[in-house]
Structure 1
């Protein structure tokens, strides 16, 4: 095993080089608009690279493998891969529509306020921040677990190092720094992940030997029609789609692309690449079952399903190569962590003009950087207490699934209004929580007097599909009774930060009377 001090020092050098690159190429950031969005600055290759790298967090080496090892083998992995491709395909259509209706926009919460009013805005803000914060904490949890397993590095040291270094260049350069580092990470990481998969199969004796070991361990692992895996694949695909559609990271990149055609092409390519990467990574978990005696109960003290990827690597490769893959994981976590740091900062900063009195550009930029620091410290703290990356993701995903249809239907349907959208989101979330099998959620609900006996048998499939179906049905039920909303208003009401527009101060203009009506629908 590599010595912990050597491992930490090497990690610091790798991350330091990445940070220097991000700072150098973002030194010309001169406005809060440039800091948050880098609007229209990304050409085709950069757009594709940042879309791929933003997805490619360290979770890609952990969660899909955990799914393959613990939750259903090949069929579960296929569902996971499809789930990661679906949001990219969805944004290939949604992105140009967002740019058309809200050309000067910054965030999905800004759109929610202008389209639905303050009540739905608060709901969407809570859901989006919660999801992205959990995503960030899960990323730091994953890399801390990997470095601890591979080199014995204390979890807190890895979390602080990664969080601190990524924070340094992201707080300085904003989205421009993230896009530059994403480009480098994509060029390096995509071939390395694929080569690692091929190399592991070769080191374990080739495809025939690998197949024999897995079948001997559990033949259902390679059955694409295995019911348990199919159930997992269906609900995890829905979960990922819902989560990503309320992820501010993608809304930022919708505006960063140079034009709609570039945007569509980038998302289409990212869908294919993400599918292949998740499929390869997930198969590591399936292969691990054939070669290693894993502890598969997440509640057990020795649970190692969440690091099945690295458990298998130790069987296939020397320690030095396993550590090299851990350094790859460092680049992966930085590619998604810088995206999330900046997305969370942009989400809040875009709303500050409604809280502060006529803030200037410098005030907004400083606020964005301070918020990035706060987010980083909080995420590091949470990551030190979490154990399963996948369990963290699923709770956040549920919120996104309940919100996606009520939120995004307003881009196309004029009669979806604030009250109906909020009712749909809340109803869907209530149904999802009632069936959600998470121990923390169930423990909290059963502690409420009289509620324990009313709760249904927990089931992930019912929780996610129920949340989606109910939120859609309740939102649709309000359509025949709602007044029309003029979608052209979104262009007039949302202005660039710091611009001298018709409102006089660059804030998001709102029609108080209309939003008052929406609030009254509640």
Structure 2
């Protein structure tokens, strides 16, 4: 772990020394990504807890086997496909912009600004904490490394190079992480399958012991496959890391090709990672925490040398998402919160404050991750808020007729309705909360959150149209 982190830090700092980093580079790396860098940064962005821990957790008994991991694979790709249209529109509407929260403030006004600020920060916070939790639990089960030690080492390593170079350095490390991630993950799956006598023998063994684990018509798995697409679509459209990358792309063509090729790559990667959860369930390999099926299978199956290689893979994957999430949170603080207190803070002074905020956010994330929450359970709560908010947010890029108050009402009502049907009694939460006595379902919660907010937003365009001037978005200036 120390060697992998050390090598990443050295490479990142060496690259950072060759660049002149100002506050705008730190927050957006504007116009710097070529197609290879773009593909790498989108794949690395989708990795982390969202690849190595959430799909395996979905493939285990708590969520739904084969249908769940197939759904998760496609859920990774759907936001990228939609973003092929959205990202160039972001560049067109706000060429000097920085964040989704900044966009909401200028496009919709104070109500939507506060709501999007909360949803975006909450999601990025959950994403970062989920990654920290995942890597700490994985190394604990693989090598008995104390959870707190892993949290401090991994987060400390990420902070070192993120504080130094911000998003600019994060995109560079994404390239390294992706180059190593894909062959390591593919190789691990191949070795794993043949450790059990090949894919057909392994399938037959699981089918004999737990047939629902590999049943493509298994009800809970099919339900999960549908709502995880809605959940990830909503969350990624409000993910500040993705909005940063819309600005980092060199041009429209670079962005669109990068997104398309990244979408093609993440589908099989997500399915391969999810397979670990189904194996843990079907082969009855024990694990103590819902986010531990992948390291449980690795520790049960592989020898020491492969376990060491897998630790390197985990470190690479987690740091790729951690630095993205940390950079995104700090950009929201720098662009959308610090100006609350003093609008005169610009340039180098804002860069120094952003770096201090990076450190504070990292320490707080370590503290929360020590509680060891369910990675997927945490992400789904954040996804519920995002599913209700993303359509009103994106509609404002395409039509000037959606008013700010209407967008806020649509998102707020979507959150309320989705929360009524959210499955609080699910094993991931275990909460006895159902004040209206409805038949709670995660599928229904996400679907209703998205449908209600969409319906209200669209109806308001026809019954109460506005006429927004997009020059206000174009008037946003760089932080320099």
TM-score range with shorter-chain normalisation? Answer: over 0.9
TM normalised by structure 1 equals 0.88
1:18 paired with 2:8, answer: yes
- Alpha-carbon distance in 2 for matches of 1:256, 1:330: 25
1:106-505 to 2 correspondences below 5 Å? 106-294=98-286, 303-351=288-336, 352-438=338-424, 446=433, 453-498=435-480
- CA offset at residue 58 of structure 1? 3.8
Task: Give the SS at the match of 1:40.
Answer: coil
Larger radius of gyration: 1
**Structure 1, residues 224-275: CA drift from partner, whole Å, max 9, x if none?**
2222211010011111111111000011111111111000000111111111
- Alpha-carbon distance in 2 for matches of 1:312, 1:358: 54
The 10-residue stretch of structure 1 (53-62 or 377-386) with the greater mean CA deviation from structure 2: 53-62
- Alpha-carbon distance in 1 for matches of 2:479, 2:464: 32
Residues 395 and 438 in structure 1, CA contact (< 8 A), matched pair in contact too: no
Residues 58 and 69 in structure 2, CA contact (< 8 A), matched pair in contact too: yes
Residues 58 and 329 in structure 1, CA contact (< 8 A), matched pair in contact too: no
**Structure 1, residues 376-431: CA drift from partner, whole Å, max 9, x if none?**
11111111102321111111111110110111111112211111110011101111
TM normalised by structure 2 equals 0.95
Structure 2 residue aligned with 1:7: none
Task: Give the SS at the match of 1:306.
Answer: coil
The 10-residue stretch of structure 1 (250-259 or 25-34) with the greater mean CA deviation from structure 2: 25-34
- Alpha-carbon distance in 2 for matches of 1:22, 1:160: 19
**Structure 1, residues 172-221: CA drift from partner, whole Å, max 9, x if none?**
11011101110000001111111111110011111121011110122222
Structure 2 residue aligned with 1:514: none
1:51 paired with 2:42, answer: yes
- CA offset at residue 453 of structure 1? 4.2
Residues 142 and 295 in structure 2, CA contact (< 8 A), matched pair in contact too: yes
- CA offset at residue 439 of structure 1? 5.5
Task: Give the SS at the match of 1:437.
Answer: coil
The 10-residue stretch of structure 1 (485-494 or 255-264) with the greater mean CA deviation from structure 2: 485-494
Task: Give the SS at the match of 1:284.
Answer: helix
- CA offset at residue 432 of structure 1? 1.4
Residues 80 and 259 in structure 2, CA contact (< 8 A), matched pair in contact too: yes
Residues 204 and 210 in structure 1, CA contact (< 8 A), matched pair in contact too: yes
The 10-residue stretch of structure 1 (232-241 or 319-328) with the greater mean CA deviation from structure 2: 319-328
- Alpha-carbon distance in 2 for matches of 1:438, 1:240: 19
Q: Structure 1: 5+ residue runs without aligned partners?
A: 1-10, 296-302, 447-451, 499-522
- CA offset at residue 283 of structure 1? 1.3
- Alpha-carbon distance in 2 for matches of 1:110, 1:287: 44
How much is the aligned-residue C-alpha RMSD, in angstroms?
Answer: 1.8
Residues 210 and 290 in structure 1, CA contact (< 8 A), matched pair in contact too: no
- Alpha-carbon distance in 1 for matches of 2:197, 2:432: 49
Task: Give the SS at the match of 2:96.
Answer: coil
Report the CA distance shift for 1:444/1:419 in structure 2 as closer, same or farther (over 3 A). farther
Residues 107 and 252 in structure 1, CA contact (< 8 A), matched pair in contact too: yes
- CA offset at residue 464 of structure 1? 0.6
- Alpha-carbon distance in 2 for matches of 1:355, 1:268: 41
Q: Structure 2: 5+ residue runs without aligned partners?
A: none
Out of 54, 58, 68, the position equivalent to 1:63 is 54
- Alpha-carbon distance in 1 for matches of 2:436, 2:424: 17
1:40 paired with 2:25, answer: no
- Alpha-carbon distance in 1 for matches of 2:86, 2:8: 32
Structure 2 residue aligned with 1:512: none
